[in-house]
Amino acid sequence: MDKLLIFSIFIFLFTLIGTKYLKKILEYKKIFDIPNKRSSHIKPIPKGGGWIIVLSIIGIILLLDPYDKIPGIIAIAGLAFISWQDDLKNINVLVRLLFQIFFISIYFIYLYSFGFYNQIQFVHIFFLILIFTWFVNIFNFMDGIDGISPLMAITICTGIILAHFLNKSEYFPIFEILIISTCSAFLYWNWNPAKIFLGDVGSIVLGFICILSLYWLYLEGNTWHWVLSLPMYYILDTTLTLIIRFVEGKKIWEAHREHYYQKAVQSGMSHSKVVLYITILQLLIIFTCYTVKNPFLVTFLAFLESMVLIIYFSSKYKKST
């Protein structure tokens, strides 16, 4: 435990101090997120801060030396690279998706070829790759206001840690604890008003890390309700928004600010207040998973709790327009 505390402090300080210097580099290179009609900020902000989290995660993997070290680092580095290119010059959505699928495939096919998933039919691996690709893009879509993605990653990892302990898992969630450390430090710089943005390089990689940790939790057994409930708000907000855009004949892959949390900001709520509401929801979902024993009821309640917040954000927006 002493080593874990030391590592947590080191990762926290590395991210906290590293982000300061990364911000200066991005400003010097003039790599900014320039506000447009779809933005929720009003002045240019350095983007690409997620690189410090990518470096932290790779460092954590090297430190812990897990069985999936090689494919994990390849997938993370690959996703970071293609996402960074998108940050710099807006890569075609199809090209971006193909590269995401490619790097996520490397992770699963590498492990499958070495026998880690040989008890699973290969077609199931194919669906896992699609689910991972879908989730990392959900995480990216939802990274639209200050502080939301680091806090979402923190709350998801907190729930995962608790679930492992309650399930009396043999796996000790050191990885998730260290992810909380790096995200907490980055949150200092990303809290409203943000001094630096994650960029796609950060949000895509964080999405991959979260879905990977959720998948590890799922493999423990008797935990599927945690896996579905913890990211429930992100899933519902994105799904409902994309369905509405599709029905209205809009291109669902184009950047926009029609998510419910973005509408809450447009209604006059501050970024920090909206993120605080989402954090309270996440804590409520974790409490629900902890106290309610029926997994089907847990998932249903998490769905209802998330929908209540979505309806609240929607009502605030309607009153302001």
pLDDT in tens, 101-116: 999 999 999 988 887 7
Q: What are phi and psi of 46, to 5 degrees?
A: -55, 135
Containing structural domain, residue 92: 2-320
Backbone angles phi, psi at 45, to 5 degrees: -125, 135
The chain-wide mean pLDDT, for the chain, equals 94
The pLDDT tens digits of the residues spanning 250-259 come to 988 887 889 9
Show the beta-strand stretches assigned E in 182-312.
none
The structural domain count of the chain equals: 1
Please, are residues 20 and 49 in contact by the beta-carbon 8 Å criterion? Answer: no
Cα 64 to its chain centre, rounded Å, is 21
Q: How far is it, in rounded angstroms, from Cα 110 to Cα 222?
A: 27
Residue 144 pLDDT exceeds 70: yes
- Report whether 162 contacts 10 (CB < 8 A): no
Q: Environment class of residue 277 by beta-carbon count within 10 Å: exposed (0-12), middle (13-18) or buried (19+)? A: middle
pLDDT in tens, 30-63: 999 987 766 666 789 999 999 999 999 999 999 9
